[in-house]
Structure 1
Amino acid sequence: MTAPIPRDMPNLPAIPGMPTLLPSHVPASAVRAPAHRPLVAVYRLLVALAAAAAVTVELALGSPLRTLSHFAIQSNILLALVLTASARRAWTARRPLPSALTGAALLYAMTTGLVYHLLLANAASPFTLPGVLTSEPAAPTGWHAITTHVLHTAIPIAALLDWLLLTAPGHLHLRQAASWLLYPLTYLAFTFIRGELLLPGTPARYLYPFLDVDQHGYKSVLGNALLLGLAMYALAILLVALDHTRPHTLRYRAHHRAKTGFRLQPPVG
């Protein structure tokens, strides 16, 4: 027969050397609920609609395939999609989009504006081509003039203002800067492949004069691409640095019954 189990179990001594759990610090972003921001949502939606309208007009006026091959068109399409998703999240009080995505869209929009005004529309530049969307050396006129200024000037400025005034700082990181250059590298490869597939002498075989292999050769074009890549990386680093030094212009309203990112359950037993 087995011995009976005692009714009162003695208290077991504590085992020495048991690890203690360290306190876990919960970030404020995980506790504070996102606020409903209708004005921000309306602004972002209007900018996205303006970019989409300008792209649509360009597609209707010219060759769709050639139009979609421009870096400016692709960057504006990406920005319009990102701003539309950001507007929906701001309207429905959801978490913002990942900073890696919004930072990339901002970088590409800024690159579009800077390249156009410093290289393509600058009379002192060796790569002057103000009518880049029409592949004409003369300044665009009519609807092309409107869409050119919208895509290369208004939209980049609007994206910059959205980042400076309507986006919380401190979310961009230096490790993201290198990954943002993957798309420009892909676009460079696309430019070379597109140029090889088109017959020599085809109009707008190379859409940008600093990437024109027929005129400058691969060696010079690769040098131009390297300089542009370094400039984009420097711009990305500048955006990250400014993101961590600029003031916080957003003010969140305090709620008496604030929702948290987690719920505490009652103890069991």
Structure 2
Amino acid sequence: MNTIAEPSTRRFPAERLFAALISGAALAALATEIAVGQGSAAANAGGLLRFFTIWGNVGAFAVMGWAASGRPVAPKVMAALATMLTVIGSVYWALLAADHQPEGWQLVTNQVFHTLVPIAVVAWWLRFTPPTADVSALIPAIMTPPLAYGAFAVVLGELTGFYAYFFLDLTRLGAFQYAISNVVLAAFFAMVGAGLATIKNALNARF
């Protein structure tokens, strides 16, 4: 007897669709910021990359786009990205938002960068990736983004005099305190990342 096969509901699984939406949202916000800036597209893009927030959202665009294509993302990469965006959102709203008054389209992109993308990426990580048996193995990758940005920030500051964040301002802090700030920031990332990974493992075990 001939039967008609049911269309596959897994043709584009929920995790890939969600990842695609996150990647698209990050890309749309980045493209909008570049388009509405006062300089050329290249100048606007370069200006954006001075900020750690943009590093995190570029990472979200790339990694979530990779996941949306159906290719696996290494656990250490996802843990590092989730930690990065958790810190970006938390630090912005706790320490920086009061002194930042976006206008126009930036009212929208600011919410995407600091709220929508961080929450969505962490939710995707918690829901769609397996637990990690050895949380400590994730720590080096989790600490890499803040250390890389710290090195970038000091070079950028020396070349241009611009420091995006007061806690990484070499001219205010001096070399010794700047080094301490980077160590403390990396340790903070490690603590946050280990906590997130532990929570994730507990949730995976429960559900």
Tell me the TM-score normalised to structure 1 length: 0.65
Partner of 2:86: 110
CA deviation digits over 1:123-155, x for unaligned, max 9? 4xxxxx32xxxxxxxx11111111111101110
Letter in 2 for 1:181: M
Moved over 6 A (4+): none
Q: How far off is 1:156 after superposition?
A: 0.4
Q: How far off is 1:166 after superposition?
A: 2.6
Residues 56 and 81 of structure 2 are in contact (CA less than 8 Å); yes or no, is this contact kept in structure 1? yes
Matched, 1:179 2:141: yes
Partner Cα separation in structure 2 for residue 197 and residue 116 of structure 1:
25
Residues 58 and 147 of structure 1 are in contact (CA less than 8 Å); yes or no, is this contact kept in structure 2? yes
Structure number with bigger Rg = 1
Partner Cα separation in structure 2 for residue 77 and residue 244 of structure 1:
26
Query: Residue 45 of structure 2: which of 50, 64, 67 is its match?
Result: 64
Letter in 2 for 1:196: E
Query: Residue 157 of structure 1: which of 102, 119, 126 is its match?
Result: 119
Letter in 2 for 1:64: A
Matched, 1:79 2:36: no
Letter in 2 for 1:41: R
Residues 174 and 240 of structure 1 are in contact (CA less than 8 Å); yes or no, is this contact kept in structure 2? no
Query: Residue 146 of structure 1: which of 108, 111, 116 is its match?
Result: 108
Partner of 2:20: 45
Q: How far off is 1:158 after superposition?
A: 0.5
Q: How far off is 1:157 after superposition?
A: 0.5
Partner Cα separation in structure 1 for residue 181 and residue 119 of structure 2:
25
Letter in 2 for 1:231: F
Identity of matched residues, %: 29
Q: How far off is 1:180 after superposition?
A: 2.3
Structure 2 unaligned blocks of 5 or more:
1-9, 38-43
Matched, 1:209 2:166: yes
Which structure dedicates a bigger proportion of its chain to helix?
Answer: 2
Partner Cα separation in structure 1 for residue 138 and residue 92 of structure 2:
25
Partner Cα separation in structure 1 for residue 206 and residue 118 of structure 2:
20
- Describe how 1:85-100 pairs up with structure 2 within 5 A: 85-89=66-70, 96-100=72-76
Partner of 1:221: 178
Q: How far off is 1:159 after superposition?
A: 0.8
- In the alignment of these two chains, the number of paired residues is 192
Partner-residue secondary structure (3-state), 1:141? coil
Partner Cα separation in structure 2 for residue 172 and residue 211 of structure 1:
31
Residues 170 and 178 of structure 2 are in contact (CA less than 8 Å); yes or no, is this contact kept in structure 1? yes
Structure 1 unaligned blocks of 5 or more:
1-34, 124-128, 131-138, 251-269
Partner of 2:200: 243
